[in-house]
Amino acid sequence: MTGTSAEGVYLRLLGSVGANAGDIGRGIIAAHSPFVGSAYQGLVVVGKHSRAGMQRRRRRAGLPRKRRRPRADSTSSREPKSGPRPVPNHYGRLSAGDTDRVRPYGPCRGGSFPYSNPMEGASGTSADAPDRARRESWVAPATLVLMMPPAPARETTRMQPLVLEPNQPSRFYRGGSRIANFRGLPETGANVPEDWVASATPLFGARDLGLTRLPSGQLLTDAVASDPLAWLGPDHLRRFGRHTELLVKLLDAGERLPIHAHPDRDFAVAHGLDGRHGKSEAWMVLAADNDPVVHLGFSRSVDLSELAGWVSRQEVDAMLQTMHRVPVRAGDTVFVPAGLPHAIGPGILLVEAQEPTDLSVLLEWQGFGIDGLRDGHLGLGLETALRCIDRRAWAPEEIARLHTPSRDGKSSGSLLPAAADPFFRMERWRIAARKTLDAGFSVLVVLAGLGELATSGAAVTPLRAGLTVLTSHATGELELRGSIDVVRCRPPVA
Ligand SMILES: [Zn+2]
């Protein structure tokens, strides 16, 4: 079955879409689209069957009438008024038009594709599905309400690079003065240690807080939604949909950050925290006070009960003594895969690239302005949340592979190990005269020097240390001129 959306976008409801619909949740109609994921990969929720319609389809397929199940089993995007939390399905909570929360679904060429339905404990491939008849009875009607990316052929307007203002929501730990210093601006508070740059990600549990406003006053999220092709480019749209796939921060550790970790994608999806992302992150150290260190991973394996004991009793010294202590200096980069416990030492200013979520599990909160027992576990309960922590022993050479020491004087190009490739890119460009960089959604953080950013058809943007500049796909090629040192953060390669 095929259909065309109002925006003229080709949309393909596979003949077997019923199978997919059955897989992702009761009553949800899904469509494969070539604009999400790579060719014919990815699922988009386009609507829901009515209960009567579902029963009609079951009757036609010769299946028994299905009893109504309690709301707790529902995969609906609506929260129940009371009672237990809804059981999230494989895709988190989804609703019609949730194109941003699409999860790539693996290859499905040749009529055979993997499926899994954690709600029913079923998995396999479409070819050997035991309940094929039931799944094929879910053939979706052509009631498409999908808002898809506009067709790639559409003409786009060329966009200027945008110099972004600071965006520093209040946090529970101290810091902010090094960001003000770096940007050459007055200090704005003692608890504004993070500057969320080009953010399409709100703080956990918040609606707008953390989102970046463009110089026009428009939210970046709204701007991208209104012209995703211009902002993100056709390859990114095909691979990831409309999400920017990137969160960049400046972070000033005014005090040592509490020990914490972030869930990976599978954990986040399985627990309904996000439809597709966990939070791996990477740091590039911009400046640091005396003897700066970071703490990364456990040096011996720690079982869950031992970790739970440390956390519930707030035995911070025991945790820190079991973690690797890694000295860093300005120019170093550190990749922190999701799950790895970590803490940033005091006095460090860094640029962070992250998966676009705000998902943190606190292992330490004593002495900080937060109640970790109440607010440190993403609403999952501490026992469940601690299961996202990587508790295995990390050998020193494994930790060394996460840490790339500064290569003074010659570093240009990628700063991160290949393990970071699925999540984001971070490049450093030290330019003596001029250098052309390829087009794409990105954030430039100017570390030092003076220069300018030229693009064809747009006015030149003067660059100086402390500026953060947002570029889009439609900005086109970027020419850096002058004597300038820049970090460029980008989404993963599409
Ligand atoms: Zn972190």
Query: In the predicted model, is pLDDT for residue 435 greater than 50?
Result: yes
Going by C-alpha positions, the residue among 357, 265, 11, 19 that lies closest to residue 151 is: 11
260 Cα to the center of ligand 1, angstroms: 6
pLDDT confidence tier of residue 169, bands split at 50, 70 and 90: very high
Q: What is the mean pLDDT of residues 399-418?
A: 84
Beta bridge partners of 296: 324, 342
Fold of 164-405: Jelly Rolls (2.60.120)
Query: In the predicted model, is pLDDT for residue 33 greater than 90?
Result: no
342 Cα to the center of ligand 1, angstroms: 7
Which alpha helices (DSSP H) does 204-351 contain, by range?
A: 220-226, 228-232, 234-240, 265-270, 304-313, 316-322
Q: Please check whether residue 307 is in contact with residue 386, taking contact to mean a CB–CB distance below 8 angstroms.
A: yes
Q: What is the mean pLDDT of residues 401-406?
A: 92
Q: What is the mean pLDDT of residues 193-214?
A: 94
Q: What is the mean pLDDT of residues 134-148?
A: 29
336 Cα to the center of ligand 1, angstroms: 8
285-344 tens-digit pLDDT: 999 988 999 999 999 999 999 999 999 999 999 999 999 999 999 999 999 999 999 999
Average pLDDT value over all residues in the chain: 77
361 Cα to the center of ligand 1, angstroms: 9
281 Cα to the center of ligand 1, angstroms: 7
The sign one gets for the Cα dihedral 215, 217, 218, 221 is positive
295 Cα to the center of ligand 1, angstroms: 11
- Nearest 5°: the CA angle 20, 21, 26 is 135
Q: What is the mean pLDDT of residues 127-146?
A: 33
Burial of 72 (0-12, 13-18, 19+ CB in 10 A): exposed
283 Cα to the center of ligand 1, angstroms: 9
Q: Please check whether residue 248 is in contact with residue 489, taking contact to mean a CB–CB distance below 8 angstroms.
A: yes
Q: Please check whether residue 424 is in contact with residue 490, taking contact to mean a CB–CB distance below 8 angstroms.
A: yes
393 Cα to the center of ligand 1, angstroms: 19
48 Cα to the center of ligand 1, angstroms: 37
Residues in the chain: 494
335 Cα to the center of ligand 1, angstroms: 10
Rounded Cα–Cα distance for residues 200 and 224 (Å): 9
Going by C-alpha positions, the residue among 434, 429, 439 that lies closest to residue 476 is: 439
**Which distant-in-sequence residues (6+ apart) come within 8 Å of 451 by Cβ?**
431, 462, 463, 480, 481, 482, 483, 484
319 Cα to the center of ligand 1, angstroms: 16
Rounded Cα–Cα distance for residues 488 and 286 (Å): 13
491 Cα to the center of ligand 1, angstroms: 18
349 Cα to the center of ligand 1, angstroms: 14
pLDDT confidence tier of residue 374, bands split at 50, 70 and 90: confident
The sign one gets for the Cα dihedral 52, 57, 62, 67 is negative
262 Cα to the center of ligand 1, angstroms: 6
219 Cα to the center of ligand 1, angstroms: 25
pLDDT confidence tier of residue 257, bands split at 50, 70 and 90: very high
In the block, which residue shows the tokens 């028994």? Answer: 64
198 Cα to the center of ligand 1, angstroms: 18
In the block, which residue shows the tokens 């966990």? Answer: 278
Query: What pLDDT does 409 receive?
Result: 52
Query: In the predicted model, is pLDDT for residue 44 greater than 50?
Result: no
344 Cα to the center of ligand 1, angstroms: 8
Q: What is the mean pLDDT of residues 249-264?
A: 96
26 Cα to the center of ligand 1, angstroms: 36
Domain limits, the chain: 2-136, 164-405
Query: In the predicted model, is pLDDT for residue 151 greater than 60?
Result: no
Which stretches does DSSP call E strand in 373-460?
403-404, 413-414, 425-431, 434-437, 442-454
268 Cα to the center of ligand 1, angstroms: 15
**Which distant-in-sequence residues (6+ apart) come within 8 Å of 319 by Cβ?**
259, 310, 341, 363, 364
341 Cα to the center of ligand 1, angstroms: 8
355 Cα to the center of ligand 1, angstroms: 11
389 Cα to the center of ligand 1, angstroms: 12
Rounded Cα–Cα distance for residues 44 and 20 (Å): 10
Phi, psi of 258 (to 5 degrees): -65, 155
191 Cα to the center of ligand 1, angstroms: 17
Q: Please check whether residue 213 is in contact with residue 453, taking contact to mean a CB–CB distance below 8 angstroms.
A: no
Least confident piece of the model among 70-79, 301-310, 389-398, 482-491: 70-79
In which element (H, E) is residue 234 found? helix 234-240
Going by C-alpha positions, the residue among 126, 86, 80, 98 that lies closest to residue 28 is: 98
220 Cα to the center of ligand 1, angstroms: 24
Query: In the predicted model, is pLDDT for residue 6 greater than 90?
Result: no
Rounded Cα–Cα distance for residues 344 and 290 (Å): 14
Burial of 363 (0-12, 13-18, 19+ CB in 10 A): buried
pTM (predicted TM-score): 0.70
Residue 87, sorted as left (phi over 0), alpha (psi -120 to 50) or beta, turns out to be: beta
Q: Is 437 helix (H, G, I), strand (E, B) or coil?
A: strand
Query: In the predicted model, is pLDDT for residue 484 greater than 90?
Result: yes
81 Cα to the center of ligand 1, angstroms: 33
